[in-house]
Each structure stands twice: as C-alpha cells, then as structure tokens.
Structure 1
C-alpha cells in the first residue's frame, strides 16, 4: 500500500524537530517532503548571535546536513516558497510553479522580523537579524564601516549589539523603553545589566522613538521624534518579530495573532496542523525553543495516530547569551496584590537575586551575576513546588560554594531544558563514548544544541567529570561475584534465550559459582517472576501459603495480620479477631502505625486452625512487596474530611495487594496539607488539596530521610490510581532488584518517568500488564495455596 504524503512547509527548527519526532515514533508511516524558503539546510537560528560574536561558525550551527535528509528518505526543496494551499484539492503551489499533493500538512513558517514603519527603512545599510544572510551582511559591513545603531533593547538586540562590538564597530543600542529587557527583567536587574554592558563598550539611548532613517545612497543617520539625531553607517532592526501567517490566512486557515491551534496542534482545516512561532495556542504565541519542541512532540504523536497528552503551554525562561554576562529570568518577575518577593542584592560582587511567590509557590525568578541555580529554580517553578516548609532564604544559597553547581546536581536534574537532557544522561554518554568536548556532548546528547544557554553548565559538568573530584560514575557493575554480567545483561539474555529457571540461567550464562549466592539467587528469582509470572506457581520454595498468610519470627512462632483495607474495620471483624485471640491464647496483640492489628506469637501447630477460624483476608506485605497504605485517619489535630482519602487508600490497597516489587514499596495518603500520613517521605505519597491530589514519589523515611519529588498535582481520584499503578509497574519492569524507588528515579530521571506515565498509550499498556499480573498473583496467593514451610532464603 502506498504511503500517505506528509508535507512540511518550513525547514526551520520547530518543523524539522517535529519531523524527527515523527520518524522516531513511526519511521515508515509517511512519504515526507519539506519546503524551505531559505536556500540553506536546517540550522540553529538562535545560535546566529554566537556566530556574530565570533564564538562559533555557520557550519557549526547546521543541525541536520544533507546526508540526514537522504538517510531519512526526505524530499527537500530549499529556496522554494509555498505561495498557496488548496485545501479542497489538498495541494500546494510554489513560486517555482510546482504543484505538490499532500494527505497531511504541517505549517511551520515561523516568524518574520518586524520592520519599523518609518521612512528610509528600505535603504542600503538597514538590516534585520533573523537569517544567515542578515548575519553575513552585518559581518561584511563591519569590515568597511564604523558606526552601528541597533534598534531594540531586548534579548535579540543586545546579542546583535555585542556581536557588532566584537567585530570592531562603535555600537549604540536605541530603545523606546526606560530600561533594557523590560519583558524579562525588573528595573534593578536591567540597570545592573546596562552597567556591565557599558563596561564592555556598548552605548545606550533610552526612551527614543525612531522617526526616520536618513541617507542618500546608504544610511547616514537616524532621527528621533524628540528632534535629536544619531550618526549611523549600519542600522539593525531588532524590535521584535511577527508570526508569518500570510499563507495560512490566504488559504482560509483560522488566525488571530498567529495560526489558531488546539492542544493537539490541529488547525480548523482537517489534515492541516501548525507548530512553532507561527502558532497561537490558548492565547499565547511562543518564540523560545523549549515550547516549540514541546509542541513538536505532541504533534508527532497525534499525526502518527498515537494517543498522548495535549500541549498545555510552557513556563518561559530567558538567558542572555553574551560572554561575561550572567542573566536569567523565568516566569513572573513583577509583583502585584497576589504576589510577593524576596530579594538579595550584593552590590560588592554585583549579584542580584529575586524570587517571586504566589502564596507558598514560586512563580518567577530573576538572577544577575550568579545564575548557577537557574536549573533548580526553573524545576521548582515548573513543578509548582510548595516551599511553605522551607526557610526561604536558603533558596538563594548556591548548592556548591566551590563554584561548580553541576557537581551538586542530582543525576535526574535537567542540564538542557530545551532538549530534556539530564545530568545522568551526559555522564553516561561521556563515560561510554569517551567524550572530551562540549561539541561532542552536543552531538551525542543534543545538550546545548538548541538555545545554547546551558553551554557553560555543560562545560562545568564536563570539567567536573574529568576532574579528580568526580566520583559519580554510573557504569553498571556485575550482578555479583558469580558472574561478570551486569543485571541488565543478565535480564536481556534471560529473555533472548528463553531461560526459565534459576539453575538454567546460571548454567547457560556461565556462572562461576554453580550454586549461586545470596545476592544473585533471589535476584534471578525476581526477574524470572517478572518475565514469566507462572514461574512463581511452579516454585515450591518461592511463595508458599505461610509466606502469604503469616510471617515467621525468630522464635519460630508466627504473626498473622488480618487485612483491614485502608485501616478500616467493623465491630463484627473486631469480635472475630478477639474470639480467635482468646481461643488460641494470643496475648501479644499490637496496633501498628499502618492501622493494622498484629496477632503475634501464633504457634505453628495452631496456624492452620487459627486461619480457618479467622475467616478473613490476611494482609500480605512480607518482603519486597507493595506495603499497606498508611492513612491519616487517626490524626486528631486536623478536622478535615478524611472520607475521600480513606476511599482512595482502600482502592489502592485492593488494586496492589500481592504485588512483588524490586524493593518494598511504602505508600501514604494524607487527607490534607497537614500530611498526617507522612506522604512526602514515602516511596509514593498522596496529599489532598483544594484543587485535587498531589503525588510525590521517591521519598524515604529511613535513617537518611529523603523528601519525595512532585510527580503531579491537581489530580482527580481515578487519575491518581492510574498514575500510581503505572508508576509502580514501570518501576517493577525497569528497576534493578533491591533498587529503591529514589535510586531508580535518580538513575532514569524523573522527567523520563513523567514522559512515560503521562503518555496515555504507554500508561494504558503498563496498566494492562499490571492488571494481568495482579490477577494471576491473586489466583495463586493466600488461601488458595497450600503448604506451611517458609523458605528462609527468600
């Protein structure tokens, strides 16, 4: 069957990144054609400022070379503009007379530089800063002319100005506002930035509105509405961009400021989609890399027929890419009646830090002079982390006072937010591939390959990895002394070769110790149980009834725990428990922190009879399993309604009982923010809020307490259950034996876990496998099994 024709209008960063995602999801689904108005291959437009400043070259900013297009079987037409979209015939017409059909069409026409509507804007020497040609013109002009005026005091204007300054020109930035970067910085940070740039040689004219650009053969001066003038040989218009929507408009596609799309990047015309700077989503038009890449991922799934979460918008952050200047801002930086801020201003060292809060959640930050904490703060803002329990001033303290913030970051923290590259990913790539330069890291992982703002952090991390202080190696060790294979390699071979018993694994894979050891035997049994659920039923020494029904103690007696889902019971159950305890002389009875009654000291000879008389489901959380859910039903300080939290705990326990895990998994459900169940220090914790449930993962209440990380917030009951069940199943399938949830999250990255759990199709697959496994285990657990001996090895 012939492939459908997928056409992309626009060979820029957003469109081609979307194509990369489509090729990753379904490489053989479409016959792909790309039209690009520029004569170049796909390049990183954001890095043009680095080219102008002399820190990189045009070749270096090429993202995909001609070989890539050929290898992907993409038909590419460069230097060819699409003039018309016939939505009825599903056909395109180009400026070269070409007619090209499509089944699916993606519009990624980006933005166009805004030219001030003033006389003289078209004369020689007036340029914009948007394309390779613009950059080349500026570099060529700098060879023969001296005075440059850059109109626009935003990010683009300042980066262009610094580039021209590096080329030897006398540069003045003309801005119509009172201070620089007013959309990203408050007045204090802007003044500090101005002072630093003036030290480097830039000049500034504020609150100037351009009236006319004057000159005979080429630009000679700029005149302003206040009657003043300034000499100029070159004028760079960097006063902003406008979405390029003319083609869409003329084709009947709905537009406002940009092309209107829904959460799945669909326009109002069937089979036509849009992505990137030409798109308006929920009233927002984005011009930064990360939101455009986020949109591309959503569209790729949609166009490949995969279910996925729609695009919900992106928290915007800005970092100025000028050598010697550290500036970063994210979210809201100005305060009103709803917002409050904390500010630290060190005038001696030129460091300014401002954090803006809405109640107990950080919603914005501005950093100048020291931006080492930008990744941590961005993460807190994106997760809407509640910081009510933190000493706020500690948020300003650098994580590593020795100056290398990369050393103090967790493996799961993002180094490159644009491309979603975590610290652990870079460490692994460096170790496996012997990477020694930032450029090699970029090619291997894409870190610093988008906006380039993380390049200094990548360099810091690379220097740290190659230093004597580095001790964070993540190279996997062998499973145990019996074999040289890692756990991942063992599991792969078990699946590849169809090995079904512990002994067979050891024999086929060449175990040095043919009997195995206390480390590998239980690990192999766990992996076999995950690969072949029926394996557990076949092994007499693995899951015998008393391991499900009772827990053996050191003195040879047993503890029986009647199941009380969520800690709830009834008078009838309590009478039954009391009758059984009296009949068999059980005097050692305790109520645990999990709201369960333990009948301790049961003699082996009485066990079967006691279980028969008890006639209740027995709690089965012995060993590495999902434990009973701790609730806050006994909390007497808080008087909030605990009914919904109890119902949630009961549902979770019934869904997850009998489930074997790599390491014991603790859960807590707290009815409100008082956190009566200690949910933030559980492997999985749930806290009720007025807006829904917050879910935390990877906590630990052991000797070294670890706070859980926020997985989701504002979640409804059914979604909470699905998210938690999918999380546990993914942990079961990908964690190493005896690897704690927090260790697993550190290794694979919380962002990766979120991407899997919140992908609708992947989540449903995980839930299906969990349900299948749970039903099987319930059939062969508890009272349906026979035997009374406990295997102490397990």
Structure 2
C-alpha cells in the first residue's frame, strides 16, 4: 500500500531522505513543502556562487525533472500553517488540508540576527539562502560591505564580495577568527591571509548600533565609537534550529526537535532530520551527520531497522583558498603537551595535542593532506609513543625513514571520512572506483565525494591511484570550562550583547556542549548575569557553592560557622549578649574573634541555622556574609575618636563604606580596611581595597593580598574628602565586578588589565567614575537583602538546602 508522506522543508537532509526512499524502490506518495520558492540545492556551495566560480544551476541537487520523474508533489514557496497530529493532517497557508501517514520535519535552522538598534534597516541581511547571495552579488567596485561574524560563513561572504571588488570589513567579537575550529596561532595565519587579500579584519570588536539614512543602512558603529560605512551589512553570527512549527503542534522540543535513534519525534508518525533536530542533547550543523540522519530516517520510513549514532567529527574546511583542519579537543589542560610545526614562509602551521601518549586534538593550517590519518589516530585512541619523534611529519615519515605517501592512504580505515561535506567514507569511494568510476569527475558523480567544496579532491585522486594501481605560538586561551570554547571575557560580552538573562538561554545561544553545564561554569554564569542584569535576572541558588546556598561556612566535620556582621568592627552590649545567648542556647562549641574584627560561632548544626539567624536578627544583627563571593569585612582602627595618632575618622568612614557595599556579589571575596594613620593598624596595605588616612585626606590603595599570594597594595589615588573616598571605592568595586573573571581576586584582574588602565577609568575619567558608582548604587537596591532574615521569614526549603555534591568538594568551595 502506498504510504503518504509529507515533507516540510526541501533542504539537504530531507533531500537525502527522498533519495534513500526512491533509490530503494519505496512505494511512497510524497508532498514536499518549502518556504523558499525552489527545491533542494547545496547550500555549502553558495560561497562559490557568490565568488563567481559557479552558478546557481551548478549547485542544484534535485532539479524539476528529478522531482517530476518521481511524482513528487512540489509546493515550493508555500509554508505549512498548522499541523493536526490527531487527525494526521497539515494545513497549508492557502487553507488546503492534506492527510499523511508519516510526516517529516526538515525545517532546518534560522540565522540569528543580533537585535542591534537598526537591525531592521534595508540592506541588513543574513547569509543563509540564494536571495541573500544575490544581494551580495549585486555589489561591486566602489561599494562597501561590513560582515559581522568571523566564522566560516562570514569569512566566505567576505571573500566572495572581495573577489568582486567590494571593500569589505569583517567585525568579530572574539579575539581570533573561527575560534570554534582554530586555535589562536592558526587564527592569526588566517587573518593574515585575509588581510593580504584586501579584507579588513577587526577582532575583539563589539558592535553597538547599525546606523541608517532614509531607511537604508549607512554604517556600523562599534562600542568604541568607530563607524564603519557600508552599503550592505551581513550578519553571519550563527543559527538556531527552526522549531516553531514543531512546538506549535505539541512535539517535544528543546534546543531542537527531540528525536530518538530512529529519527522519530515524540510522535511515532512524525520524523525529523537535519539542523532542526536535537539527538541526545546535541544539535548538528555539519553535513555528514545530517546525511547519516537522513539515511536512518529513510530506512525507518521503509520499516527497516536502523539507528543514528553520533560520531566524533573532524572539520576540514577551505576558506578563501586557505586549507584548514581541526579535530578533537585542543584546549590547554593539565597533563597535556603540544607538538607544533610552523613554516611561516609557506604559511603552514600544525599543532597536535598529546595526552597520555595519545593524540587528543589537532589543528592544521595551510597543509591538511594528512588530516584523515591524524583524525584516525584521535578516533582510535592510538598509542603514539613509538612514533613520537616523527609524528608531526605525518604517516609518510613513520618508521624512521620517509615512506611512500600512498601507503598511508592505503592504510586508512574503511570508515575513514573522505568527504566531510557529503559524509562519504573511504569504503564508499573505493566501491565507486571498483564499480567503474575511474576519474575524479566520475567518482564525484557516483559517490558525491569532492563534489561540494572540493577540499578532499586530492585525497580522492590518491585513492584512485591506490585502487587502480597506476614560529611564534600564541598562548592558548582559558575557556570557562570544558562545556564551551569561549573565554570568560567572551561569555560576558555575549551575555550583554545577546541580552541573555537565564542559564538555559546562555547555554543554548552560546552552544554549550553540556545542556545543563557543570559545577565549574554554572557558578560563573550565575554571577555574570547577577552582575549584568540586577533586578532582572533571577539568581539561581542551585548554581552557588554550598556556603552561599546555606549562608554559612561549612567546616570539615560538616557543621557550619556563623559570622554576624559588625559594621566597621563596632559592636555593643546588646549584640554581644545576643551572641552569648545563641552560643548557650545551641551549644555552640567554639566562639572565636576573627582577623576581620568579627565574632565567629563555630560548630553550628545545619538544622539550627534558621533559628540562630532568627535570634541574631531579633538583636538587630545580620549576616556578615563571611561565606560570600562578595564584600566580607571592612576592618578599621579607632582613628580620631580615641587614638592620639589618628588623622581622620577611620571608623566612621569604614562604617559608611560597609553600609554602602554589604550584600554586593563579586567575582571573588572582597576585603577592605581603613587605617586612621600611616601606622596602619587596620592592615589596609594587604587588602583588596585599603584606605590610609593622612593629614591631607585619604590614600586609596588597591590590589593587595594576604593569602596564598602575599601582595602589597598599589596606590590608586589620594582624595580630600570622605565623599570622594566613598565614590572612588564604589567605582573601583564596580569596575572590578564588571570586568574580572569569576574567582579572580582584584590583584589578578589588575595584573591582566594594568593599573594604568584602572586609573584611567576611575581617576582620570570623572564621568566614567561617577557612572560606575551610580551603577553600583543602583544594583545595591537589589542586593542589600539580608539572607538570614529572608530565609527565616520564608522558612527553610529542605530541598534547596541540599548542596550539589560536586560543588561541596571543589577546591573553590573549600576555600
């Protein structure tokens, strides 16, 4: 019986589904919807079309005749309006209702458009389809274009327009191009090659606004005020699975449409393939896995047993004539080492990452001939100890003497990927050759290997020959964690730029490899959004360390320490009686005076915490937040009130500052002290921020440390009044809060940005200083909430009280 199949989307993945069905003689009646007014074409090849190397007709995969021969009902330029899964019908935009036995989603993805002011101006486009390509092809000499995005698609757009004589500028927010595929050294070589082709490249550049005139784009403004004039602005900053229709009809949707190993959705009569799907938490952009999905989906529709298996993937690309290859994990890590080969004259760079005598990552630029062999080593976890000395030179040089390069090609495993664009293995190429395809063009026609970007053509020719018989290394960037290849700075910029205000939004938009993140990234992301969106972001308590979750410091025996806040180190009999009463009432075994002029109650049982908070709160005391990544204490001396050497009211100033700053979260703990004279009894010269009172005013000191690292503060400036001291202190704290990496103390942050830069921002730029202080005071209206009082008022949620095990055992939590 003929099976009625409706396919939504005429892309490369769904096209391969149809090929699988018809090549295997399936008895099917197919109706194909596509929002574009055309059928299946090879999107990978839009770049050669843009550059003028090919025409649209050259990249058509299924032409009108192909569909006609198979009696496919084509409804191109039409969208599906609604789906009724109960009735098993779809309704077209024109109102037609069509029944199906099986429905296939191939809706692909949508380009992400940065919501910059002016993004809806005429002349602002994505780079996704033929229409976008034709708009870029309409430019020529004398025109200017700006491309936002230094990934593969953005660079191909830039190169294609530059080849037509367009003045092109690439703007990339990251520190180097194609940061997902290349390390910094390879990214540098790629940038140099693009500049040599006349393309202007601006990395670490953040777009602020798109300027227009009479409704048409005129320029892109960067956040440093630079204006880049343009007649066309192309956004190539990533894609999102197109799941809107699937969500509307009630299918299970996450980042993409959820599918199982048979490519079935949550509805057994509905399948999905391609960039719109999510399989075991992963979404897909490369062609090879999409084609694997399509083959499985076709077999599922025919009632055959098949299962989609995610495979380790390599990326072999050709950007503007520059050969690139990356595979595995090339991030820095403990126990890892690099083997690097550089030949600047030839523009060749190769880097292998070794861990426990196995290749775990590889990045090649300029010479990718041996990339498949290296990828095999990564995939098979081959022990390379015996070939370590010659490994970087490739398979032809193993064994101590140069070998026949063809031997390495012959030794490739049958499942070695030859053509990444079309997912073609060595076995498939060899089968095509043995079946009579004895030329490169013939192999392309039969197997599709080499028919797209062409970067594998040399390898295909080597297989033909075998079968037929005839130095400067850039430092590796520090990523947030293993869930992402983005640095802390990049993540903070993207959170702000993209307006991301929840952990799921960050992890989806920034393509986190682990859907829920890990114990390393979640606390960092939580802090970055708390800082960036005060009053808007909902603080995620479960992404905090145990001390912050229970508002007390965990001790080695599982009990807790409770430290009430004493502003400026000042207390009174009522507070002292309350502390004594609490110690008696709850049998607190240890009461200790801390180095920060506070009293610490040690050995408190977890179940007693809410009652202790309540009792101390009744005496007017609040949490000293001795557990927090935030302001800890403001230590003071008695200053002019009692000391004969005091020059200013250090106690009063310390209390003012602590009243202003308590409750503020920061990248790490923040300690402060105010000394009434240069004798420095409050030890202000080893704090994150210290103030020394002198006859003429207040010396403000920053960047000290007295822990594992011992460091004396540096002088930021001297001011004359208490009001200035408070303003400068708040401005410094906010600058640190907004710019430092999570878990970096101020001295580490200062060493990164430079003390001179900090002075420029705070001392030399009065307007910026005031703005920083204002932002700090604004955020404090949301942060200055005593957690003890809140938890006592709301009651304790036992579930929330339980910490995540991996957070309690981390080194950071122990600190």
TM-score for the superposition, normalised by structure 2:
0.53
Shift in Å, 1:359:
2.9
> Could you tell me which of 112, 117, 122 is aligned with 1:124?
122
Alpha-carbon distance in 2 for matches of 1:29, 1:296: 18
Name the residue aligned to 1:19.
18
Alpha-carbon distance in 1 for matches of 2:217, 2:395: 51
Alpha-carbon distance in 2 for matches of 1:295, 1:391: 37
Residue 220 of structure 1 pairs with residue 222 of structure 2 = no
| Partner-residue secondary structure (3-state), 1:219 | strand
Name the residue aligned to 1:536.
none
| Partner-residue secondary structure (3-state), 1:123 | coil
Shift in Å, 1:4:
2.0
| Partner-residue secondary structure (3-state), 2:333 | coil
**1:299-698 alignment, distance < 5 Å:** 299-308=297-306, 310-337=307-334, 339-382=336-379, 384-399=380-395, 408-410=408-410, 412=414, 414-421=417-424, 426=429, 429=432, 436=439, 438-450=440-452, 452-458=454-460, 460-461=461-462, 472-473=467-468
Deviations 1:115-137 (A, max 9, x none): 11012212222111110111111
> Could you tell me which of 149, 154, 178 is aligned with 2:151?
154
Shift in Å, 1:20:
1.4
Alpha-carbon distance in 2 for matches of 1:118, 1:434: 52
Deviations 1:345-364 (A, max 9, x none): 33343321112244344332
Shift in Å, 1:17:
0.6
Name the residue aligned to 1:559.
none
> Could you tell me which of 45, 56, 59 is aligned with 2:57?
59
Contact kept in structure 1, 2:139 and 2:166, CA below 8 Å:
no
Shift in Å, 1:419:
3.9
Structure 2 segments unaligned to the other structure (5+ residues): 471-815
Superposition RMSD in Å: 2.6
Shift in Å, 1:320:
3.0
Alpha-carbon distance in 2 for matches of 1:311, 1:133: 33
Alpha-carbon distance in 1 for matches of 2:372, 2:56: 29
Contact kept in structure 1, 2:5 and 2:102, CA below 8 Å:
yes
Name the residue aligned to 1:753.
none
Name the residue aligned to 1:293.
291
- Residues 301, 339 of structure 1: CA spacing in aligned structure 2 closer, same or farther, 3 A cutoff? farther
Alpha-carbon distance in 2 for matches of 1:266, 1:434: 36
Contact kept in structure 2, 1:265 and 1:273, CA below 8 Å:
yes
Alpha-carbon distance in 2 for matches of 1:220, 1:162: 21
Contact kept in structure 2, 1:295 and 1:311, CA below 8 Å:
yes
Name the residue aligned to 2:204.
207
Alpha-carbon distance in 1 for matches of 2:4, 2:84: 15
- Residues 258, 339 of structure 1: CA spacing in aligned structure 2 closer, same or farther, 3 A cutoff? farther
Deviations 1:49-68 (A, max 9, x none): 11112222211111112222
- Residues 306, 432 of structure 1: CA spacing in aligned structure 2 closer, same or farther, 3 A cutoff? closer
Contact kept in structure 1, 2:409 and 2:462, CA below 8 Å:
no
Deviations 1:438-483 (A, max 9, x none): 444322221123554323544x549xx6xxxx575269xxxxxxxx
**1:93-242 alignment, distance < 5 Å:** 93-142=91-140, 145-217=142-214, 218-242=216-240
Alpha-carbon distance in 2 for matches of 1:419, 1:205: 33
- Residues 405, 18 of structure 1: CA spacing in aligned structure 2 closer, same or farther, 3 A cutoff? farther
Deviations 1:297-348 (A, max 9, x none): 222222222123x223132322332343121111222122365433223334
Name the residue aligned to 1:520.
none
Alpha-carbon distance in 2 for matches of 1:407, 1:387: 20
Contact kept in structure 2, 1:111 and 1:241, CA below 8 Å:
yes
Alpha-carbon distance in 2 for matches of 1:239, 1:187: 19
Shift in Å, 1:211:
1.6
Residue 270 of structure 1 pairs with residue 268 of structure 2 = yes
After the TM superposition, which of the residue ranges 226-235 and 295-304 deviates more from structure 2?
Answer: 295-304
| Partner-residue secondary structure (3-state), 2:332 | coil
- Residues 22, 427 of structure 1: CA spacing in aligned structure 2 closer, same or farther, 3 A cutoff? closer
Shift in Å, 1:408:
4.7
Alpha-carbon distance in 2 for matches of 1:117, 1:147: 22
Shift in Å, 1:237:
0.6
Alpha-carbon distance in 2 for matches of 1:471, 1:290: 24
| Partner-residue secondary structure (3-state), 2:19 | helix
Deviations 1:736-794 (A, max 9, x none): xxxxxxxxxxxxxxxxxxxxxxxxxxxxxxxxxxxxxxxxxxxxxxxxxxxxxxxxxxx
- Residues 293, 405 of structure 1: CA spacing in aligned structure 2 closer, same or farther, 3 A cutoff? farther
Alpha-carbon distance in 1 for matches of 2:406, 2:161: 32
TM-score for the superposition, normalised by structure 1:
0.55
Contact kept in structure 2, 1:83 and 1:94, CA below 8 Å:
yes
| Partner-residue secondary structure (3-state), 2:342 | strand
| Partner-residue secondary structure (3-state), 1:215 | strand
